[in-house]
Amino acid sequence: MSTSKRIEDIVTEGHSLMNPVVVSTAKEIGEAKLVFKWDELIKERGISQKELAHMTGMRTGTISEIVNGKGISINKVQLFALMTALRVTDLSEIMEIRFPEEQKTAYNYEAMEWKVNKKLPENVRELYKRNVLASTVDKI
């Protein structure tokens, strides 16, 4: 069973010292969900969380938090240890971001147009302007 969490909730619950411009930009993802597949991987491999903890050198409690979607903040070294222990070579085996279909379509269209035309899509241009203004105002 995979666990998921709305990205907006993850951002809202994030580190209190995070740059507010970064937070507001990340929140624009909105209803998209981050889906973790740790539990599925562990079951497929036929191991327990405790065994995975021993294999990685991580605490069993940390593994439990990660598997249950509570330990959303995984550092790169932990990620590499988990990938090594589970023999995962593709991040999509571990997690994926699921966008609402309308948003996914819009993002894909804007990305394609951007690649072809080499010009910022209007929505990205507005984001850029808003973030430059917010960053400038913070420094005044």
- pLDDT tens-place string over residues 18-56: 788 888 888 888 889 989 899 999 999 999 999 999 999
Would the pTM count as exceeding 0.85? no
What DSSP element (H or E) covers 34? strand 33-36
Residue ranges with strand state E in the chain:
3-6, 33-36, 95-98
Positions in the chain whose pLDDT score sits under 50? none
CATH code: domain 1-98 is: 1.10.260.40
| pLDDT score of 79 | 93
Using the 8-state DSSP alphabet, how is residue 119 labeled? S
| pLDDT score of 138 | 57
CB 88 within 8 A of CB 41: yes
CA-to-CA distance for 45 and 39, rounded, in angstroms? Answer: 10
Domain ranges for the chain, please list them.
Answer: 1-98, 100-140
| pLDDT score of 140 | 52
